[in-house]
A = this chain, B = another copy of it.
Amino acid sequence: MMTGEIEVTVRYAETDQMGIVHHSVYPIWFEAARTAFIRQVGMSYSEMEQAGVMLPLLELSCRYQRPAHYEDELVVRVEVCQLTRVRIEFSYTVCKKGESSPICIGKTLHVFVDQNFRPVNLSKYRPEIYRLIAIAAGEEEKDAASVSR
């Protein structure tokens, strides 16, 4: 299975008056990692949108283990934890650079929709995109290959 990874340096605007990163910022970092992951899969998310596929969120969850602070250097990792023909779930960990114990973990569940926000079976609607994602998600070769039939 492939994983994506980005580094972020905490921005001042991302802190709040508690002196820590505001909790609403983590989903934005998750998304930045997801963007990098999808690009690495072989197609940018921009191209995916131009091909008529969008991935709005159905669910989001975060567990905040320890706070992050201004100027902290962080590593955000992402992987696909579940893929069906209509949905995809990603999981995330945020660690301080050089540490392995996460300060935040999270998940996002997305539905594949077309430009009109209608849910689609991606394996039929855009089989070539589904195949790329299936490979990235570590689905069996055979399984991924069967998608285009």
Contact = CB atoms under 8 A, between A and B. Distances in A.
Interface string A16-45: 111110111101100110011001000011
A146 interface: no
B61 A59 contact: yes
Q: Oligomeric state, in number of copies?
A: 4
What's the interface size class on A, roughly?
35 or more
Given A11-B28, A15-B16, A63 B56 contact: no
A60 interface: yes
Given A11-B35, A35-B12, A62-B60, A18 B54 contact: yes
Contacts of A17: 12, 15-20, 49, 70
Interface centre among A17, A35, A54, A63 (most CB of B within 10 A): A17
Interface of A: 9, 11-13, 15-20, 22-25, 27-28, 31-32, 35-36, 39, 44-46, 49, 54, 56-64, 67, 69-71, 117
20 contacts: A9-B32, A9-B35, A11-B28, A11-B35, A12-B17, A12-B22, A17-B18, A17-B20, A18-B54, A18-B56, A23-B27, A24-B28, A24-B31, A46-B70, A46-B71, A56-B64, A59-B61, A59-B62, A59-B63, A60-B62
